[in-house]
Every structure is written in structure tokens, then in C-alpha cells.
């Protein structure tokens, strides 16, 4: 059965652009929240598959400001999901993850699109120890270049909110999975159902919020992250708890919240210097 958007949903914008729509999160949201948006524009450099009557697909490269400006034009809000989704070398990240997030904010400024839901990452604070509860107001401690690029995106979000009046919610996504599959997920899991609730809260928040940072996490008993007062005001109420799966997983044993993402060699770009020495 074809999805039919629900007319007159309170406070949700009528026209929403989703960048990186071919990815895991974009695909999931298309089956949940985005069915309730009257007009959805999907954008990616990859095909998104068959579209529903309320959807349209427009190819756009995030590194091209002209293309991003064209795909942003005429929308009420942007869910920015696009970019390389994990740790890799700087040359691969700098286009989609640095230039790309700048182009999204700049395109929204130029086209007067008032709201961006900026998908950040928990990897922005991966080097914080496991015995500290974070609320999004502490100093960033990225666990790699990917996290550092997300910190750049949050800094841009703050700039565009303060200087140009853009409303931005930076969502530090946890471990987005159908169900927890490793020990770390007991602390970081974001379920698909809670992701839909989270992004709905971000889209439906009143105008004038400025830049708000929120951790994108389910209601996990062992969560390392709480919500600050500004983020709580968005009305996000997660319901799922990774504890339901705890008997299938071993306890987490790493000293830092980022776990394996903090390891020297993770991502392949930072081989140890002595590995290149000859006897």
C-alpha cells in the first residue's frame, strides 16, 4: 500500500528536504516520520529507489553549492543526513563532511530556509570517560577525524544561528540500529521508532530556538547521555530501552565512551610511525 501523508499534522513543516536520503537513517525515516510530511524532497548522489506520491528525488552533490542551493530552494526545513558516515582519511572526509555541511547552511541562508536538523554524532565526545554523564554542554573530545568534522558542523550551526537567525538542532546520533548488537549499544542505542520521535520533535519545535544540541539516544537504563534543558524543551520523549537486550550482550569494558573508535589505528589513516621504519 502506498504511504499517504497525513494532512494538517500540528506544527510539522509542509516541505522538507532530506540530504543523504539513500542512507540507513534516511531510508528508515521515509517509512516512519516522513510519511506524515506533505511534500518530501529526497537528495543524494545515490539512487533512493522507488518514490511515493508525496516524494521527489533530486540528485545533488553536497560539495557543489549551486546544486545544494537548488535542492534547498522552496523547502521549509532540511534534515541534513548526507556525508561519509564513519572514520576515514581527511581527503575523503573534507568534501562531503566539511564543505558539504557548510554548503547546506549557506544554501539555507541564501534561500531563506529557516530550519536545519543537523545530524551530528556521539563521536564528537568519544574520548570522555565512561564514568561521566554528558548533556551536550561539555567540551567536545572527538574520537577521530569523523567526530572532529561533526564538531566543525556544530560550530557552523552555532554561527549561522547567532549571526543569521537560522534555527538549528544538532542531533548527536548514538548507535542507530534495529536492536543492540554489541556491549556499547547498551549505553548508546537509538531505535528506529525513537529516531522518528526525535526528528519529529526537531522539526516541530517552535521558531526562535537558535542552536540546540541534543543527544540522539533511546531511553536506555545505562545511557551515558542526558538531555540539557534546552533540548528537553523540544519535547523528545524516547520510549525504547537497550536493557531489554542486556542478557544477550557482555558488559562494556572500554575506558572511553567511543570504545574502538578511539583506538590508534581505527579508520586506517593513522598508522603508527614506527610501522614505516626499516631495520
Mutual orientation of helices 100-111 and 65-72 as an angle, nearest 10°? 50
> Any idea which residue has 610511525 for its cell?
273
Catalytic annotation on 146? yes
Burial 193-228 (b: 16+ CB within 10 A, else e): ebbbbbbbbbbebeeebebbbbbbbbebebbbbebb
Q: In this predicted structure, what is the pLDDT of residue 274?
A: 77
Q: In this predicted structure, what is the pLDDT of residue 11?
A: 87
Q: In this predicted structure, what is the pLDDT of residue 278?
A: 56
The number of C-alpha atoms within 13 Å of 201 and in the hemisphere containing its C-beta is: 23
Per annotation, catalytic residue among 102, 146, 261, 266: 146
Q: In this predicted structure, what is the pLDDT of residue 5?
A: 35
pLDDT (tens, 9 = 90+) of the chain, 279 residues, equals 233 333 333 489 999 999 999 999 999 999 999 999 999 999 999 999 999 999 999 999 999 999 999 999 999 999 999 999 999 999 999 999 999 999 999 999 999 999 999 999 999 999 999 999 999 999 999 999 999 999 999 999 999 999 999 999 999 999 999 999 999 999 999 999 999 999 999 999 999 999 999 999 999 999 999 988 877 889 999 999 999 999 999 999 999 999 999 999 999 999 888 765 555
User: Pairing state of beta strands 211-216 and 167-173?
Assistant: parallel
Contact at 8 Å (CB) between 6 and 33? no
Distance of CA 169 to the CA centre of its chain: 10
Contacts made by residues 6-12, CB under 8 angstroms, sequence distance 24+:
6/35, 6/36, 7/38, 9/36, 9/37, 10/204, 11/203, 11/204, 11/206, 12/36, 12/37, 12/200, 12/203, 12/204
Domains defined along the chain, listed by start: 15-276 (3.40.50.720)
Cell of 40: 518530501
Q: In this predicted structure, what is the pLDDT of residue 6?
A: 34
Amino acid at each position: 500500500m502506498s504511504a499517504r501523508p497525513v494532512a494538517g499534522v500540528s506544527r510539522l513543516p509542509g516541505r522538507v528536504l532530506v540530504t543523504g536520503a539513500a542512507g540507513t537513517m534516511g531510508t528508515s525515516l521515509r517509512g516512519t516520520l516522513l510519511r506524515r510530511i506533505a511534500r518530501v524532497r529526497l537528495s543524494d548522489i545515490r539512487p533512493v529507489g522507488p518514490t511515493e506520491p508525496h516524494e521527489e528525488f533530486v540528485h545533488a552533490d553536497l560539495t557543489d553549492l549551486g546544486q545544494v542551493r537548488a535542492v534547498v530552494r522552496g523547502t521549509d526545513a532540511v534534515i541534513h543526513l548526507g556525508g561519509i558516515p564513519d572514520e576515514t582519511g581527511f581527503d575523503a572526509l573534507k568534501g562531503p563532511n566539511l564543505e558539504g555541511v557548510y554548503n547546506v547552511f549557506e544554501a539555507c541562508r541564501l534561500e531563506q530556509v529557516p530550519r536545519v536538523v543537523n545530524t551530528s554524532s556521539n563521536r564528537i565526545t568519544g574520548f570522555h570517560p565512561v564514568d561521566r554523564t554528558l548533556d551536550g554542554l561539555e567540551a567536545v573530545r572527538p574520537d577521530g577525524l569523523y567526530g572532529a568534522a561533526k564538531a566543525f558542523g556544530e560550530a557552523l550551526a552555532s554561527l549561522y544561528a547567532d549571526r543569521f537567525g537560522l534555527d538549528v538542532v544538532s542531533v548527536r546520533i548514538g548507535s542507530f540500529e534495529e536492536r543492540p548488537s554489541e556491549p556499547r549499544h547498551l549505553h548508546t542505542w537509538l531505535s528506529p521508532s525513537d529516531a522518528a520521535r526525535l526528528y519529529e520533535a526537531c522539526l516541530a519545535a517552535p521558531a526562535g530556538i537558535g542552536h540546540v544540541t541534543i543527544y540522539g539516544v533511546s531511553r536506555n537504563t545505562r545511557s551515558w547521555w542526558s538531555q540539557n534543558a534546552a533540548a528537553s524543551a523540544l519535547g523528545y520523549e524516547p520510549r525504547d530501552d537497550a536493557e531489554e537486550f542486556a542478557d544477550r550482550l557482555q558488559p562494556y569494558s572500554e575506558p572511553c565512551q567511543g570504545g574502538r573508535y578511539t583506538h590508534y589505528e581505527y579508520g586506517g589513516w593513522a598508522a603508527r610511525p614506527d610501522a614505516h621504519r626499516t631495520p
